[in-house]
A and B are shown apart, each in its own frame.
Chain A
Amino acid sequence: MKPTNIGGHEYFHKVVDCQWACPAHTPVPEYIRLIAAGRYSDAYMINWRSNVFPGILGRVCDRPCEPACRRGRVDKEPVAICRLKRVAADLKDDVSGRLPQPAKMNGKRIACVGAGPASLTVARDLVVLGYQVTVFDNGASPGGMMRSQIPKFRLPDEVIDEECGYIIGLGVETRYNQWVGSLRDLVAEGWDAIFVGTGAPRGRDAPIPGREEAAKHIHIGIDWLANVAFGHTTKIAKRVIVLGGGNTAMDCCRSARRLGGDDVKVIVRSGFEEMKASPWEKEEAIHEGIPIINMRVPKEFRHDNGKLTGVLFEIVRAEYDAKGRRSLIATGEPDEFHECDEVLVAIGQENAFPWIEKDIGLDFDKWGMPVLNEKTLQSTLPKVFFGGDAALGPKNIITAAAQGHEAAISIDLFCRGKKLDDRPPPEFNLVSQKMGIHEWSYDNQVSEEERKKVPVKALEKTLKDIKLELELGFDSFMACAEAERCLNCDVETVFAGKICIECDACVDICPTECITFTANGEEDDLRGRLKAPAKLLEQALYVSDDLKTGRVMVKDENICLHCGMCAERCPTGAWDMQKFFMQCAEAGTEAKRT
């Protein structure tokens, strides 16, 4: 293999699994260390810059970082990254003084359609550069689906108010209760750029027999949740069936439990493992006494003169073809009937752009999605940019924020007449953490404690009050213990082959046998020849230049604990522990000149 190029930010960024997996590339280990040090406000501001909604995301983020977390590969469970973020938000001091000051107005006007996380991120990034940003939303307050969909017992309104408030407070102009009915008209108003962050507002229906007749008792999940969120719906019948296996289904069933449903079931087409809902959401539902019944395809809503009596299901099993595609095959067992009084249909969400005229030069693909440049998020109407669920289909808040940042960069470049492809690179640095012979400026002792469970309120209480937040969050002691579980993957092992004497000290001490000195070879050959074979292909091998004996040093990054023992045992200082800090570029950062 060629020697690893450790210049630039690509290689070391990938070693920080959580930061790599985070769509907004939040510098996770940095904020975790700050939490351990009790510097909650600092931890909050690092998050705020990257992901805009730390208090919200610390409660409800889809947390792609956690399945990626290295700790999960050497321990039973990953670091509770998401809930640590909440700690920063909960325990911080007043941060209003730390928020950026709006710059002098630059005279450019930007319209954002929708006040969800995508639009608010664009607004935040641009308003501080001097843009005049106006956000339109048909609702009465900001937050989009964070407010209208996510149940209050997971995400209280105060948190949404606070974090949306920070953004609006920077000087964003808001037009609530205003539905944008025509993009043509909006374009005609002469905005310098328009950002579309209207989400994926339509819930998919289940058009099976009985749907129309029993319509009064059958609700589309996301519409029903919005009615619950805004207090229009406060009750549900005793026996409820929720159709679907995603997070919306989980929110529906858990909300139903809190509004009077005491026999609530989730019935899903797929198997339990393949359900789209996050494992923790499923766990919560089960914990609240909601059975999840799998491999059942709804066939018919049964009713008695329009009064729903139950749902008939076909029992299926999954079969996979050579390409791994699943098809559901009827098992031939008799259909199963489940009695119920009300049904919530939570089988997916769709995009809809009824307000965008089809003849104004903005192209849509055959699935009805806008045609976009994936990197710049620019549509075929150059002034119009997309982000969040509206751009690439329903995802989650952190993706909306990440795309908001990208769109803001594009809009800024566009308004300044620059090339959109010439994107500013992230800022990063790499600094030795050595303080003495065995002293480092990070805590390199690896905690062996198990993941801490977030304390919750008593179930009886929370099932009675749909607005009562279930989780209490970590206190400062639990937070510190959990933070200590982080392996500090950003404190990188940096190898200087020129001064290595090949004494094997690092090989012998490494607790996870990451390091091997061996003859070079092709990657798959090399992976098999290491002291511990490197089977996880997506984890990089760090290969040195040729050493004195003609061999190379090969390090499997996969389960390096970043304990620094290799560096402590190295007699020549060929190994060093260096902290890699990287933040994505913000709108307004200049692209490097080459």
Chain B
Amino acid sequence: MTYLVKPKLLRADAPRNALGYTRRDYEGAISTLCAGCGHDSISAAVVQACFDLDIEPHRVAKLSGIGCSSKTPDYFLGNSHGFNTTHGRMPSVLTGAALANRDLIYMGVSGDGDSASIGIGQFAHAMRRGVNMTYIVENNGVYGLTKGQFSATADKGSKSKRGVVNSDTPIDLAALALQLGASYVGRSFSGDKEQLIPLIKGALRHRGPAFIDVISPCVTFNNHAGSTKSYDYVREHNEAVNRLDFILPRDKIEASYPAGSLRRIVQHDGSILHLRKLDADYDPSDRVGAMNYLQERQALGEIVTGLLYVDSGAVDLHRHLNTVEKPLNQLGDAYLCPGSKALEALNAALR
């Protein structure tokens, strides 16, 4: 843990994005997490992704629940909106916020305890409803903040620091998200930013519920031999199905790929996902195939990572509900409350 505030001194040639910001402008308060916690790497990846996408910090709303993972929004995007809900309740608060103001970019940040244990119901419904958001679970298989009890994502047979073996069946949040209708589903590892950053970028520019399960080792309570969420274990069992390059419409595409090795997906806003196939047969547009693949590989002990599924034509909650386009706070009183005459007319129409 560091008490110091990061010095502001910068190299003269520190890169600036289209808004004139440096990466440092996307940071938040100094982290109070344990030194070496995977969650800090995810924060760094979010910073990089937002910097690369020239996102205006004040256009982002970051919401989280309770847990070490849910503390992280304090450590990135210090100039964005934030909301710490009660434990496991982030999805419904986020849904409400998104309904009230569709102009913001919504980022839900949660833990495996927050989303798979106490908040599993909330998680499920936010996915089902098609809320337009980027939902990141920082998954360490334990309740880090309360000192390392197994969470609902802990693998059967995984050993706790004190030697207890977990006997419950794990919840695979990525598989659940697929089943529940998320239109962008990925899995990654906090220790692999090359994979994680483009996944976050693609999610931020996706319309619809984008879910990323990020395995993020808890160095303090779940990074020992016998754990299936340690740095070493994840590195050994990580099997990526593809590698994503995220390309903004304005970017020139320079890389060339051997025929058949690339899948090109254009999202609703013109941004392009270049998927370099690592598994030639894997089809990220096949929801059922993806679910099967995850099950099969999981059974072999592999941790499947990459962009598992994407539906670039997906529509979201606002389309489903046919909501008004303007954020509610920009609608005048007269519009929000049309008066008793209008109410009478409405009632009459329903009689």
Contact = CB atoms under 8 A, between A and B. Distances in A.
Contact of A503 (B6, B14, B24, B217): B217
Contacts of A549: 235
A568 B2 contact: yes
A441 to B, nearest CB: 15
B299 interface: no
Contacts of A535: 13
Given A505-B36, A508-B43, A74 B11 contact: yes
A130 B331 CA distance: 93
A357 interface: no
B44 interface: yes
A569 interface: yes
Contact of B36 (A73, A445, A559, A569): A569
B29 to A, nearest CB: 13
B41 A504 contact: yes
Given A437-B1, A502-B231, A504-B193, A509 B36 contact: no
Interface in B18-65: 23-24, 31, 34-38, 40-41, 43-44
Interface in B224-266: 231-232, 235
A502 B232 CA distance: 9
A570 B10 contact: no
Contacts of A570: 35-36
Contacts of A512: 9-11
Given A438-B1, A438-B2, A511-B24, A505 B35 contact: yes
B4 interface: yes
Interface in B99-131: none
B191 interface: yes
Residue with the highest number of chain A CB atoms closer than 10 Å, among B4, B31, B35: B35
A448 B6 CA distance: 11
A444 interface: yes
Contacts of A569: 2, 35-36, 40
B12 interface: yes
Contacts of B34: 571
B219 interface: yes
A513 B13 CA distance: 12
A571 B219 CA distance: 8
Contact of B12 (A73, A437, A503): A73
A575 B232 CA distance: 20
A409 interface: no
A374 interface: no
Contacts of A505: 35-37, 40-41
B191 A502 contact: yes
Contacts of A565: 2, 4, 6
Contact of B9 (A438, A446, A501, A568): A446
A513 B1 CA distance: 19
A253 interface: no
B9 A511 contact: yes
Given A503-B38, A503-B191, A504-B41, A509 B2 contact: yes
A559 B7 CA distance: 12
A477 B193 CA distance: 45
Contacts of A571: 34-36, 219
A327 interface: no
A381 interface: no
B3 interface: yes
B215 to A, nearest CB: 13
A446 B10 CA distance: 12
Nearest to B36: A571
Interface in A66-89: 73-75
Contacts of B341: none
B93 to A, nearest CB: 28
Contacts of B13: 535
A560 to B, nearest CB: 11
A563 interface: yes
A532 interface: yes
Nearest to B15: A532
B8 interface: yes
A561 B36 contact: no
Nearest to A76: B12
A532 B35 contact: no
A446 B231 contact: no
Contacts of A448: 7-9
Contact of A559 (B1, B2, B11, B217): B11
A508 B43 CA distance: 9
13 contacts: A73-B12, A446-B7, A501-B231, A503-B38, A503-B217, A503-B219, A504-B193, A505-B40, A508-B41, A509-B6, A559-B11, A561-B9, A571-B35
Interface of A: 73-75, 437-438, 444-446, 448, 501-505, 507-509, 511-513, 532, 535, 548-549, 558-559, 561, 563, 565, 568-572
Going nearest first, the 5 A-B pairs with the smallest beta carbon separation are A571-B36, A446-B7, A508-B44, A74-B9, A503-B36
Given A502-B231, A505-B37, 18 more contacts: A74-B9, A437-B1, A438-B4, A503-B36, A503-B217, A507-B44, A509-B6, A511-B6, A511-B24, A512-B9, A512-B11, A532-B11, A549-B235, A561-B7, A561-B9, A563-B6, A565-B4, A570-B36
Interface of B: 1-4, 6-14, 23-24, 31, 34-38, 40-41, 43-44, 190-191, 193, 217, 219, 223, 231-232, 235
